[in-house]
Amino acid sequence: MTQSYFITCISNDIDKYPLTEKYIDKFINDNKTVLEKDSTVSDVLVLHPLKAIRIPVNSNDLSLKYNPVEVSVNINNYDHFKPKLMVFDMDSTLIYQEVIELIAKYANVEDKVRDITTRAMNNELNFKQSLKERVSLLKGIELPKLLNDICENQIVLTKGVRELIYFLQNYKNTVTTTKTAVLSGGFIPFAKYVQNILKLDYMRANELGLTNHGQTLDGTVIGEIVDGQYKAKTLVELASINNIDIKDTCMVGDGGNDLPAMKAAGYGIAWNAKPIVQQQAPSKLNSDTILDILYIFGFTKQDIDQVLSSI
Ligand SMILES: [Mg+2]
C-alpha cells in the first residue's frame, strides 16, 4: 500500500522531552492497533534528532490512542511543503505580547480593559463591541509617545519568527517566494511596525481614530473591524489577487478569532493556543520556537540549516 500521509511528532521541549528511541518505541507500541491497521511503522523518518520525526501512514483519519501532551502530533501529506501565501496573527503569535494590554498599562486603564475582556469572554459583548469599548478608554493618548514606548521598549518578536520568514522567502523548491501577511485584531501603527521589521508583504489591522493633526487618539476605531471573519475573508482575497490556489495557503494563530482563517486556509496551525482553540484547529504546535512549523511541513534540520546559513 502507498503511504501518502505522515504523522509528525515534534517535542514541545527538546531538553525536557527528547524524542529518544525509547520514546518513539512507546509512541509506536501504544498506537500499534491504530497504526498497524494500514501501515508498517518500520520507517521512522528523523527530521531533527531528538526533536522531530515522521511516521508514514495511509490515512489522515487516525484516532491515536497515545497522544502525549508534551509532543505536538499532526497528520498531513506534506513533503517539503512551502506555502505560497503564509498569513500570521500578530499578538501572541509573531510577538509575545498582547498590544492592547501594553496600551492599557501605558494609559493606566488595565482594570477597566480587563473587565471588558472578561465580559467579552462571558459572551456579554462580541469582539467588535469589546474593541470599541476598549479603544474608547484610550481617548487623549498621544500616539507618537505611545508608539515609541511600546515599539521600542516592549514588543519582542517570537523566537524563530525571523528565521521562519527568511526560510520561506529563500528556500527554493519552486520559483515562487512565499507571500507573507500579518492580520491583526490590534491596531495599524503597531502591526505596521512588525510588518516593517519582518518585511512582510501585507498588513491588515484596525485603524485608530486620530485628532490634533494625527497626534492624539480620539477614542474611536475607523472602518471595518478586523475580527475572525475579516481575517478569513482577507486570506482568501490575498490568495486570489496573487493567483494562489487556496490549498497553497497557511494561517498561523493562537486565538479563537484565528480559527475561521485557519479553516479557510489550505492549512491552519494553532500556535501555543488555548486547549479549546487547539481542539478546533486543523493542526497544532506547542513549542518554544515558531521555526518548528517547518517540521510540520516535512523539512529536515539539514534543509533548514542550509537555508539559514546564508542569512
Ligand atoms: Mg493572537
What's the pLDDT tens digit per position in 223-253?
A: 999 999 999 999 999 999 999 999 999 999 9
All cell numbers assigned to 49? 534528532
Cβ proximity of 182 and 228 under 8 Å: no
Does residue 56 sit in helix, strand or coil?
A: strand
C-alpha 102 to ligand 1 mean position (Å) = 14
Q: Out of 13, 79, 89, 292, pick the active-site residue.
A: 89
Q: Out of 91, 248, 254, 292, pick the active-site residue.
A: 91
**Kindly report the CA angle at 307 between 294 and 288, in degrees rounded to 5?**
40
C-alpha 139 to ligand 1 mean position (Å) = 24
Using the structure block, give the residue that is written with the C-alpha cell 511600546. 150
All cell numbers assigned to 298? 516535512
Using the structure block, give the residue that is written with the C-alpha cell 511596525. 193
What residues are paired with 45 via a beta bridge? 54
C-alpha 61 to ligand 1 mean position (Å) = 28
| Residue 63: partners with Cβ closer than 8 Å, 6 or more residues away | 34
Active site residue 89: yes
Q: In the prediction, which pLDDT does 242 show?
A: 97
Cβ proximity of 19 and 11 under 8 Å: yes
Q: In the prediction, which pLDDT does 29 show?
A: 87
C-alpha 262 to ligand 1 mean position (Å) = 13
Active site residue 91: yes
The domain segmentation of the chain, as residue ranges, is 5-76, 85-110+138-308
| Residue 295: partners with Cβ closer than 8 Å, 6 or more residues away | 8, 10, 47, 48, 51, 52
Cβ proximity of 296 and 285 under 8 Å: yes
C-alpha 89 to ligand 1 mean position (Å) = 6
| Backbone φ/ψ region at 84: left (φ over 0), alpha (ψ -120 to 50), beta | alpha
Pick the CATH number of 85-110+138-308 from 3.40.50.980, 3.40.50.720, 3.40.50.1000, 3.40.640.10: 3.40.50.1000
C-alpha 92 to ligand 1 mean position (Å) = 5
All cell numbers assigned to 205? 489591522
Using the structure block, give the residue that is written with the C-alpha cell 527530521. 47
Which residue stretches of the chain have pLDDT < 50? none
Q: In the prediction, which pLDDT does 152 show?
A: 92
